[in-house]
Amino acid sequence: MRNHSIDIFDLFRGKRIFAPKYKIIALSAQHTTFVKQLATRLGFDYCGIAKAERLDEEARHLEAWLNKGYNGNMGYMERNFDLRVDPSLLVPGAHSVITLLLNYYPEESQVEEAPKISKYAYGADYHEVIRAKLNEFLFEVREHIGEVNGRGFVDSAPVLERAWAKRSGIGWVGKNANLITKQSGSFFFIATLIVDLKLDYDNPYARDYCGTCTKCIDACPTEAILAPAIVDGSKCISYLTIELKDELIAPEFAGKMENWMFGCDICQDVCPWNRFSKPHQQEAFKPIDAVLNFTSGDWEALNEDYFKQLLKHSPIKRSKWKGIKRNIDFLKV
């Protein structure tokens, strides 16, 4: 019987070899090992890999969510629908979706009288930090494996990160719609790499370990969590303090903000799985002094120029100075 062989470029030895087809399987395993080791070396806490394919079930859920207007004024959620559910439209010939998690849980806390800021915003803007890591990731992959077409995404492109994280075996989507890991909770940034490289795929996360717990639903002061994993974004405090660009926040939310000035962590803080959260080891996420220690008076006295200077590398700049002033004023209502 003839031995079917192919000519492949063995980049581990830097020369062209003649090898049986089964060698491709071994090469896929080697590439997968390299990818996961690289993720650890670059400081990521989790790395999972899923097959790049259209997310048909997730597409139906997203369409229903949008049709009910739960995206509020976030019109960008309605755009590029097909790109969100089909990775091959983002990277032609895509074979694999690599999901990476980076812990941001802080060791420090704000002073008690400070208006509350979501923990993810204590330090440098995660978009800048993770984008640099993803660029290095792709560079290293190309240096080690060869020409690989791929793109990295971090919360700023049409990618359903939590769906891919679940498919890659990292965790499950909780009732608060956050990705939860059994070992470390949910205080993680999610990054995604879509590549045209064939890798070995992890088994999807099949179980939901929330059980009968409803602590996140019960704790939400604006009743934004309507049902397990269904959040009315237009009622979420994070949306109201960051995404909403109106001059005023609707009066119906007066007295319900629980002193949150930027973002909200309530549904994560009450989650039992976050008792396993451990402080991050990322120097870039070391808290900015003002974020931890500014009181309401300090924020009120902050002029626009100093705001831009002080927070130029902080995600808080997304709300802009006028947005922060609006939020502070609304907390007094």
pLDDT in tens, 216-250: 999 999 999 999 999 999 999 999 999 999 999 99
The one catalytic residue among 155, 196, 208, 269: 155
pLDDT in tens, 54-105: 999 999 999 999 999 999 988 888 888 999 999 999 999 999 999 999 999 9
**Spatial contact of 120 and 130, defined as CB atoms under 8 Å apart:** no
What pLDDT score was predicted for residue 24?
52
DSSP string for residues in 236-266: -HHIIIII--SSS--GGGTT-STTEEE---H
Residue 110: half-sphere exposure toward Cβ, Cα within 13 Å? 22
Note if 155 is an active site residue. Answer: yes
The string over 163-177, giving b where at least 16 C-beta atoms fall within 10 Å of a residue's C-beta and e elsewhere, is bbbbbbbbbbbbbbb
Whether 112 shows a pLDDT value over 90: the answer reads no
DSSP state of 289: H
Q: Enumerate the β-bridge partners of residue 9.
A: 16
Query: Residue 231's CB: how many other CB atoms inside 10 A?
Result: 23
Q: Evaluate if pTM is beyond 0.75.
A: yes
The continuous run of DSSP H or E covering 96 comes out as strand 96-103
Whether 42 shows a pLDDT value over 80: the answer reads yes
Whether 323 shows a pLDDT value over 60: the answer reads yes
The type of residue at 191 is A
Whether 265 shows a pLDDT value over 60: the answer reads yes
